[in-house]
Structure 1
């Protein structure tokens, strides 16, 4: 059975307490996991600690924590600590983010993201084992230390995010799960094949790995309002967050549209970028509408082979009332 998760919407939240309230609401409604991204707002670690202390049943996780902003050993220490304070409910999601955030915000060169992600995952798992970490890689060399507290039992799973075939194959080989974003149904099926191949190459137990699709959703009594919010959000990612999302959509058979959105956004014409994203394509990668229509549309994403969880995410311009309406309308049944 496909699990149903909640991606906490950092952009619309006025306070940490508001994020805690959102996680509590998700817990009350039966969501399986509350994910928290980390970009250039509140840090995920402090916020998830607060959420862990104020919830009891819902799992918590990072989706995603960038691998460039902390050392792998510190990420391992953080994962161990969050697993402790959540009493075993934590799941670590890692990924490279993109050069716009990493270079312009963190001031770190964005180089060879696949290799850095792999080395980070391997080091983090070494830290979480409680054994002395001896690691020699292209980016990191560690030795002589082990975790200076009891290692978490069980160790939290470590997932990675990625969009290209090699990145997703890497997730299957070395991570415990993969986080997908902005995929059509056909595109998802192709990447799940990559993940499964990686799992086999790594000798992993696929039944113990988790594929999570993050799905932008907005519910409003006025479907035109909901659609515009979803469309603006999607166009922003495709046009304004570097080239990775554009290239990902192009790989899924929508090159002309992806380039039109990107070029229009880069030229400052936001309306043209949104107009280039027609309703049929938007419906393949997002959910919007009245409560009844959105529920019907959302349920069609839960039967994609290989998808273990679908996470309700939100447009960045949605307000708190729209977010709460969406959380309730799409709650697990």
Structure 2
């Protein structure tokens, strides 16, 4: 199992010390660096900026929101960055949720599975550069001849010859149908809230996708990149402080993300066995009672999702994640020293 550095997306201000984190990850033998986007910073620019100082690590997005750009625009970003980095891009994408898609990007959210399939298909056509790119699907028709069209759209192929026609495409997916489609059409999967305890739930969904006639990959060459916070602690008090510090983030995703009637992250927690608290956490969070919502998050859930403890405990838990088929563990680290400490422990 490889290690990746998860830089995530920015908060109110650009994060400090990222260059040092990236340099440490490159030097310590991490396999990849990943960035994310929500409704602030984008995922591609930080990779170009900080990735320019690297020569070995893969540079991935986890995830690019499909509705934020047309499929050909996403392909252009990936194509360009792949050239600039000598073929190190991993294109991670996802559908996001209706509040972001319709509220931020002003695009319809309906039929996310069908849209995902079209996006992936168009991007692969761009990268293959076998001819002018067309698409007959209803979501991203190329050329466009719908309302407002002047009727002059022309099928095109990229001016730039892609460095790689097979840039890896990984998809963020949560529900059964989405995970199965990911196993069918993608090169890898970026699950959210994946844990060794919940891993068995996903296996039939993945198997369904691998069994489809059009599947690109098998389980043997399909990548699974799971994110967790890994922190080596020296004392029980230190461990407890880290656990408590993570609970507000879990409460946000369980109770504050998405719409009340359609929170995909909340659905994942329910599938993981925490349905007894999800409604109450959501009600409290949406009522601005965030501390009360956070207080409902059990230690057990934090410890299931993340790896926090002494060196021996961390090594055992990492092995448990690897045994479930995770090929890359994406870690959020706070300092260059922490990056080196983790790399040394798990070397």
TM-score by length of 2: 0.86
Does the residue aligned with 1:253 lie in a helix, a strand or coil? helix
Worse-matched range after superposition: 128-137 or 11-20: 11-20
Does the residue aligned with 1:88 lie in a helix, a strand or coil? coil
Flag the 1:16–1:273 CA change in 2: closer, same or farther, 3 A: closer
Flag the 1:98–1:90 CA change in 2: closer, same or farther, 3 A: same
Shift of 1:150: 1.0
Give me the whole-angstrom Cα distance separating, in 1, the residues matched to 2:54 and 2:15. Answer: 14
Residue by residue, what CA displacement relative to the aligned partner does 1:127-184 show, whole Å, maximum 9, x if unpaired? Answer: 1101221211120112521111112235311111010000000101111111011133
Shift of 1:215: 1.3
Residue by residue, what CA displacement relative to the aligned partner does 1:283-307 show, whole Å, maximum 9, x if unpaired? Answer: 1112234566445444432221x32
Q: Within the alignment, does 1:195 sit opposite 2:206 as a pair?
A: yes
Specify the alignment match of 2:100 in structure 1: 101
Worse-matched range after superposition: 48-57 or 183-192: 183-192
Give me the whole-angstrom Cα distance separating, in 1, the residues matched to 2:127 and 2:163. Answer: 7
Specify the alignment match of 2:136 in structure 1: 136
Shift of 1:258: 2.2
Q: Within the alignment, does 1:265 sit opposite 2:285 as a pair?
A: yes
1:181–1:215 Cα contact (<8 Å) kept: no
Does the residue aligned with 1:247 lie in a helix, a strand or coil? helix
Residue by residue, what CA displacement relative to the aligned partner does 1:258-280 show, whole Å, maximum 9, x if unpaired? Answer: 22322221222222222222112
Count of residue pairs the alignment pairs up: 324
Specify the alignment match of 1:180 in structure 2: 191
2:60–2:91 Cα contact (<8 Å) kept: yes
Worse-matched range after superposition: 283-292 or 249-258: 283-292
Give me the whole-angstrom Cα distance separating, in 2, the residues matched to 1:265 and 1:328. Answer: 37
2:37–2:65 Cα contact (<8 Å) kept: yes
Give me the whole-angstrom Cα distance separating, in 1, the residues matched to 2:156 and 2:230. Answer: 45
Specify the alignment match of 2:151 in structure 1: none
Give me the whole-angstrom Cα distance separating, in 2, the residues matched to 1:271 and 1:324. Answer: 31
The match for 1:247 among 253, 267, 274 is: 267
1:217–1:230 Cα contact (<8 Å) kept: no
Shift of 1:5: 1.3
Does the residue aligned with 1:141 lie in a helix, a strand or coil? coil
Larger radius of gyration: 2
Specify the alignment match of 2:32 in structure 1: 33
Shift of 1:51: 2.6
Choose between structure 1 and 2: higher strand proportion.
1
Give me the whole-angstrom Cα distance separating, in 1, the residues matched to 2:302 and 2:327. Answer: 22
Give me the whole-angstrom Cα distance separating, in 2, the residues matched to 1:261 and 1:327. Answer: 33
Give me the whole-angstrom Cα distance separating, in 2, the residues matched to 1:109 and 1:153. Answer: 31
The match for 1:310 among 314, 326, 329 is: 329
1:227–1:289 Cα contact (<8 Å) kept: no
The match for 1:156 among 167, 176, 186 is: 167
TM-score by length of 1: 0.89
2:21–2:335 Cα contact (<8 Å) kept: no
Shift of 1:237: 1.1
Specify the alignment match of 1:232 in structure 2: 248
Flag the 1:296–1:12 CA change in 2: closer, same or farther, 3 A: farther
Specify the alignment match of 1:319 in structure 2: none
1:65–1:93 Cα contact (<8 Å) kept: yes
Specify the alignment match of 2:276 in structure 1: 256
Does the residue aligned with 2:170 lie in a helix, a strand or coil? strand
Give me the whole-angstrom Cα distance separating, in 2, the residues matched to 1:163 and 1:277. Answer: 21
